[in-house]
Amino acid sequence: MDESTKRDLIERYIAAYNHFDIDGMLAVLAPDVVFENYSGGELTTSAVGIDEFRQLAEHTKGFFSERVQRITSLTFSQGGATAEIDYHGRLAEDIPGGLKAGSILELNGETEFTFGSERISKIVDRS
């Protein structure tokens, strides 16, 4: 898969994520997609397969009233790509023992994308 195709898949995924468009996100993912989220070096969330990914995306969609991932850099490798990400989100509900609804969450992180069969086969988020 060439860099142009990889870039297009990533940009479509991020655009769908930013618009809470779960079907749009799923459209660029392989059926056996693997998703992992790490915070502070610890695995906090994972999903294996498109059905688990959909469930996770539906579940977390309600946490934010707005959210934006912005790619600040994108580096390609043989089987994948790594994106440096600026994240901005506004909480839609209180986090027990933590931030309140309306609070702004801003993070910098990295997302690693792996590709197979013309789709994204693995996503690893690190913040």
Q: Mean pLDDT of residues grouped by 10 in the chain (127 residues)? A: 95 97 98 96 96 96 94 94 97 88 94 95 96
Specify the pTM.
0.93
pLDDT at 54: 98
Report the CATH number at residue 61. 3.10.450.50
For the chain, the domain total comes to 1
Element (H, E) at 42: strand 42-48
Task: Provide the domain limits for residue 85.
Answer: 3-126
Give the containing element (helix H, strand E) for 10. Answer: helix 3-18
Sequence-separated (6 or more) residues with CB below 8 Å from residue 18: 67, 68, 69
pLDDT the model gives residue 97? 84
| Length of the chain counted residue by residue | 127
8 A C-beta contact, residue 115 and residue 80: yes
Contacts of 2 (CB under 8 A, 6+ apart): none
Q: Which residues pair with 68 in a beta bridge?
A: 88
Cα atoms in the 13 Å half-sphere on the side-chain side of 86: 4
